[in-house]
Amino acid sequence: MFDQIKQVIMITGATRGLGYTLAQHFAKQGANLAICARGENEIKTVQNELEKYGAEVVALSADVSNPNDVERFISVTENYFGHIDTLINNASIFGPGPLYLADYPDLALKNVLEINIMNPFLMTKRVLPGMLARHKGSIINLTSEVGKTGYAEWGAYSISKFAVEGMTQIWADELIDTGVRINLVDPGEMDTAMHKIAVPNCEYELAQPSDVIDVFDYLASSESQFVTGQRFEAQSFTRKGV
């Protein structure tokens, strides 16, 4: 169960798909939220929805692969709430596709890698001083099955998730015994706009973002305070035996 105290949960890419679902869920659970996405109108709309559940919300339009936007987002949040308990690095893009790597545009590959790798790096690096000062904090990076197994036509997105998995392992090792934990969540295939790009003619049943919430509750709670450097598959996650 998510801790019933006013935690501050920060979520990137919070206007659609899993990020939007997580923001709604944690607002209903009594958390305060810091959310961002690149679309200003969209992020303000989500802010208004979350505030109806009683949450206090910091909502900014931001590109979290841009260091200046990262600094602004986290500084405003820390100034408003005083700290950040949990960071969920959800934002990412798929890029063009499905495409074989031999046909992949050079600039598109560079763009996907920069956005998908730099944003969790920059966000993590910037929240760490506050978390380390408090000797606690949870960082959750989103990954994918294609971040551990390469499949044809998943292109730069797959490459970027391989990088995120390696980066998370390095952060976990470097942060051991600090009280700050960092883990990976693979939500599995879900019915989202990104999946429609990746698998345009999907003919099998997909999970909904609301089906994979439990692992995020767990990782944001004190129940997981000694869990770090782990990879969780959200659709098969159960607390029993963790």
What's the full length of the chain, in residues? 242
Q: What is the pLDDT of residue 9?
A: 98
% of the chain beyond a pLDDT of 90: 87
241 pLDDT above the threshold of 60: no
CATH of the domain at 112: 3.40.50.720
Q: Is residue 19 a part of any domain in this protein? A: yes
Q: Identify whether 241 is part of a domain.
A: no
Residue 230 within any structural domain of the chain: yes
Q: What residues make up the domain containing 144?
A: 8-236
Average pLDDT, the chain: 94
Q: Residue 2 domain-assigned?
A: no
Name the pLDDT band for 98 (thresholds 50, 70, 90).
very high
Active site residue 157: yes
- pLDDT of 55 > 60? The answer is yes
For residue 43, is it within any domain? yes
Structural domain contains residue 175: yes
Catalytic residue (one of 20, 104, 157, 218): 157
Q: Domain total for the chain?
A: 1
The CB-based long-range contact list for 60-63 (8 Å cut-off, 24+ gap) reads 60/35, 60/36, 61/36, 61/37, 62/12, 62/36, 62/37, 62/38, 63/38
State the pLDDT confidence band at 5, using cuts at 50, 70 and 90.
Answer: low
Q: Is the pTM of this model over 0.75?
A: yes
Mean pLDDT for the stretch of residues 72-96: 97
